[in-house]
Amino acid sequence: MEKGRLEAFTDGVIAIVITIMMLEIRVPREHTLAALRPEVPLILAYALSYANVGIFWNNHHHMLQASERVDGRVLWMNLLLLFWISLMPFTIRWMGETRFSATPTASYGVVLMLAALSYLLLEKALAACNGADSALARAVGRDGKAIASLVIYVAAIPLAYVSAWLSMGLYVVNAVTWFLPDRRIEKAGATAKTA
């Protein structure tokens, strides 16, 4: 089965999620900079979420680039990943409207954790579909980075009840570790091409 349509559909969903989040920012009634100030934490949360979704898209791009085929299981794992990504605007809005309370901040961590888990499952499905000898399967191996992310998200969830800012800090730190695309896959993709 060709991968083009899976990519196009994923791009559509992620483009909508990323754009809708920005549209959710409340327009201040007043026309002063001061009126914008109460929106600043929310705008920063949106920027973080934009980065998070952008990271998922970038890594998805690299992973699919290194894949040669997809199957039914890959399609479903991808839909599962998109399900959690499409829940992000909801949790970010809840977090913003309750001024970063514990439960909403933890719920953002839950959604991020489930998205990271689905990404891992998608990676495994792709490796299985492309064969144990494929460039992707060899490149991925035991994906330490994704597992580290999961650990960070799992830690951030209870920490939200200690301090929401501690959780937010972990989300930011984790975003930075995912910021750079997966060099191993990128290299494997390059190798696959030159092979």
The encoded tokens of residue 67 equal 């894949």
Task: Answer whether 139's CB lies under 8 Å from 184's CB.
Answer: yes
Task: Answer whether 63's CB lies under 8 Å from 136's CB.
Answer: yes
Q: How far apart are CA 56 and CA 89, in angstroms?
A: 15
Q: Name the segment binding a second copy (CB under 8 A); options: 74-82, 112-120, 147-155, 169-177.
A: 74-82
- Residue 38 or 151 with smaller CB distance to a second copy: 38
- Residue 151 or 158 with smaller CB distance to a second copy: 158
Q: How far apart are CA 37 and CA 28, in angstroms?
A: 9
Task: Taking each helix axis as running N to C, give the angle between helix 40-65 and helix 183-194, from 0 to 180 degrees, rounded to the nearest 10.
Answer: 30
Which listed residue (68, 83, 117, 184) binds a second copy by CB under 8 A?
A: 83
Residues 93 to 112: which contact a second copy by CB under 8 A?
93-94, 97-98, 101-104, 107
- Residue 91 or 134 with smaller CB distance to a second copy: 91
- For residue 60, CA distances in Å to 24, 26, 28, 172, 178 come to 25, 31, 36, 20, 12
Tell me: does residue 30 bind a second copy (CB under 8 A). yes
The encoded tokens of residue 6 equal 């899976």
CA-closest candidate to residue 28, choices 17, 14, 42, 49 = 42
Please give the DSSP secondary-structure letter assigned to residue 38. Answer: G
CB atoms within 10 A of CB 116: 24
Least Cβ distance, residue 120 to a second copy (angstroms): 20
Residues 48 to 67: which contact a second copy by CB under 8 A?
50, 54, 57-58, 61-62, 64-65
Which listed residue (48, 86, 117, 155) binds a second copy by CB under 8 A?
A: 86
- Binding residues (CB under 8 A) for a second copy: these are 1-2, 5, 7-9, 11-20, 22-23, 25, 27-33, 36, 47, 50, 54, 57-58, 61-62, 64-65, 72, 75-76, 79, 82-83, 86-87, 89-90, 93-94, 97-98, 101-104, 107, 180-181, 186, 189
